[in-house]
Amino acid sequence: MSDETLSNLSTETRRFEPPAELAANANVKAEAYDRAEADREAFWAEQAERLDWDQKWDRVLDWDDPPFAKWFVGGRINAAYNCVDRHVEAGKGDKVAIHWVGEPEDDTREITYADLKDQVCQAANALIELGVETGDRVAIYLPMIPETVVAMLACARIGAPHTVVFGGFSADALANRVADCEAKVIITADGGYRRGAPSALKPAVDEAVGKAADLGQKVDKVLVVRRTGQDVAWDEGRDVWWHDSVEKASTEHACEFFDSEHPLYVMYTSGTTGKPKGILHTTGGYLVGTSYTHWAVFDLKADTDVYWCTADVGWVTGHSYMVYGPLSNAVTQVVYEGTPDSPHKGRWWEIIQTYGVTIFYTAPTAIRTFMKWGSDIPAKFDLSSIRVLGSVGEPINPEAYVWYRATIGGDRVPVVDTWWQTETGQIMISPLPGVTAGKPGSAMKALPGIGADVVNDEGEPVPDGSGGFLVLTKPWPAMLRTLWGDDERFKETYWTRFADQGFYFAGDGAKKDEDGDLWLLGRVDDVMNVSGHRLSTTEIESALVSHPKVAEAAVVGAADETTGQAVCAFVILRESAVEEADEPGEGADLVQELRNHVQKEIGAIAKPRQIMIVPELPKTRSGKIMRRLLKDVAEHREVGDVTTLADSTVMDLIKDKEGSGAGSED
């Protein structure tokens, strides 16, 4: 990907001007950049006026003790009130908030803002009844159903930070997260629909509760939504049905307003060590950042637009651009439960046609999949309602960008390639659809009010035309405040590398082109990006090594046409297992066993595409695994410089294995 992007940089001359009408009526015009630059804090204070505060702040930013920021200091606010109640009070109670589309056909629900308010109040009352108090953490492990949005907002309403765990994660991953943030309550469902069949969630929760207890965290209550009607094991003292509690609770709940810096949620994301990081977001600044960027980047016209973000709520995109940003802006949006090919490969385009979606936000990996399936599929549907297209999660290669714009956008609508992270909370680098002449493959410029640059090893800005590390040079409202329970790791991970300059180190490589526009080049650390999901090489290595037959493992992200990167593992077996693997036919079984083991430990998303059983791993004299060389093998390239290896013959042994087909792919 980065190589392709780099080489395209020199040849990419295509430019797409904003459509004239969109530019003329754009929410944000070019003047915003200078205005924000002249007085950043005044700019963000102006954006904070978008929200309803019970009490206004007396200081916009407290950056006296970096890197610990406080935004809108002294302000009091409730996120759920801003996403729901105030719209009802403004007379928009009958407006559809969510067109919900279940995966089984004709399984749909329309939820108005008035409905949402009632349901959020009911859930808030039910959570209080279950013993949840302000400040308590609540874990949410749910499919893409309306109750998920309701559960998140109910937590926000009572000031109980939520931690949503992606439904594709395993019981172990859930248990680790529950234990790390000490959640007393888990909200889940019997299951959800994926790829045309019900897929269970509750058994993983039952297992996770036991594992969390082993880790010292007792889960008191499990609140269960009935979605699929699957049989579930039931613990009378612990488990409570959503329909017996939430749906029977009062729809009246007077909300309390919390300090602007009150924790809103913890979202776990992969870092460079085996232990996921709990990214902490707080209330006021986060809501300002997501609300403003959602309105600015998508040129949102809330009265007429129909918005759809396809991200799963288990990731930050689902938090910022399905829940908090859009709902604080009173949008009408689509939420879809399932996969794009159920029951047919045109399902997404059919949904766009049915609901008249005008703003569509998805990931490059999905776009590349649709390219593979063929343009004739979207061509069968009327997509003329679309006026803005967005992309997020990984670098979008120019060909995918151009296909997206042409095939889904009818060659008329702008594509906004939005760069941001779980840590940033809000979009940071992106074109503005009414201002920017887009270049395919470039995220272009930092948004108004945001400071970004590309620097060399010494932290000095590189000149136009050169590459380096992406840094964020100024604090921003939705920035992470710390890592849950680990201030030291927070400082170390993001603020040490360029401590002298006070820059935030994003972990991404980037290049400035001759015009100073930014091209993102992927991670510079041991974090992979598979289908827009962040995975840690170390975490998968630990999972592999926890298998009794494995002595050592090294994992790399190898370029993959569809998923961006794919997980490739190199494994050294324990002596006892080597003989077994050498038996004819047994090697493949063992590889399968190891792949399943990773799925069990972390989740299906982390399952290696390929595992190669090798006799040695390439290491430097100091014992560090040289993943660069393994990446060459995984990407079928000539292996690079081996002179720093302790034993330079190792690579020949590995390549021999590759030739003999000891790998597995499916």
Site for ligand WTA in 497-526 (CB under 6 A): 506-508, 520, 522-523
Q: Does 565 help bind ligand WTA (rule: CB under 6 A)? A: no
Of positions 82, 245, 418, 493, contacts ligand WTA by CB under 6 A: 418
Number of residues engaging ligand WTA in binding (CB under 6 A): 23
**Is the distance from CB of 518 to CB of 506 less than 8 angstroms?**
no
What's the closest the beta carbon of residue 525 comes to ligand WTA, in angstroms?
9
| 529 lines the binding site for ligand WTA (CB under 6 A) | yes
Q: At 87, is the secondary structure helix, strand, or coil?
A: helix
Residue 384 neighbours by CB distance under 10 Å: 12
Q: Which residues contact 231 (CB under 8 A, 6 or more apart)?
A: none
Q: What is the closest distance, in whole angstroms, from the C-beta atom of residue 508 to ligand WTA in the complex?
A: 5
Report CA-CA distances (Å) from 388 to 250, 283, 414, 518: 40, 28, 6, 21
Q: Using an 8 Å Cβ cutoff, are 289 and 260 in contact?
A: no
Q: Point out which span in 298-306, 416-424, 543-551, 574-582 binds ligand WTA (CB under 6 A).
A: 416-424
Instruction: Give Cβ neighbours of residue 151 (< 8 Å, ≥ 6 apart).
Output: 123, 138, 140, 142, 162, 187, 223
Alpha-carbon gap, residue 589 to 587, rounded angstroms: 5
- Which CB atom, from 219 or from 518, has the smaller least distance to ligand WTA? 518
The torsion defined by the Cα of 424, 430, 433 and 436, in degrees rounded to 10, comes to 150
Q: How far is the CB of 388 from ligand WTA (least distance, A)?
A: 15
Least separation in angstroms between CB 321 and ligand WTA: 9
Segment near ligand WTA (CB under 6 A); pick from 63-71, 109-117, 371-379, 393-401: 393-401
**Closer CB to ligand WTA, residue 96 or residue 144?**
144
- Does 260 bind ligand WTA (CB under 6 A)? Our answer is no
Only segment of 184-192, 254-262, 391-399, 653-661 that touches ligand WTA (CB under 6 A): 391-399
CA-angle at 65, arms to 48 and 427, nearest 5°: 40
Phi and psi at 598, nearest 5°, equal -65, -40
Question: Which of 204, 205, 316, 625 is in the footprint of ligand WTA by CB under 6 A?
Answer: 316
Under the binding rule (CB under 6 A), the answer on residue 317 touching ligand WTA is yes
Taking the complex as a whole, the smallest distance from the CB of residue 238 to ligand WTA amounts, in Å, to: 32
**How many Cβ atoms sit within 10 Å of the Cβ of residue 250?**
11
321 dihedral zone (left: phi>0; alpha: psi -120 to 50; beta) = alpha
Q: Which of 118, 259, 261, 394 binds ligand WTA (CB under 6 A)?
A: 394
Helix (H), strand (E), coil (C) string for 136-199: CEEEEECCCCHHHHHHHHHHHHHCCCEEECCCCECHHHHHHHHHHHCEEEEEEECEEEECCEEE
Stretch that binds ligand WTA, among 64-72, 241-249, 417-425, 593-601 (CB under 6 A): 417-425
Residue ranges of the alpha helices (H) in 478-570? Answer: 487-490, 537-545
Is residue 439 at the binding interface for ligand WTA, with CB under 6 A as the rule? no
Nearer to ligand WTA, 201 or 416 (CB): 416
Interface residue with ligand WTA among 392, 435, 447, 559 (CB under 6 A) is: 392
Segment near ligand WTA (CB under 6 A), from 81-89, 310-318, 606-614, 622-630? 310-318
Q: Which amino acid, 87?
A: H
Contact residues for ligand WTA, defined by CB under 6 A: 269, 315-317, 392-395, 417-422, 443, 506-508, 520, 522-523, 529, 534
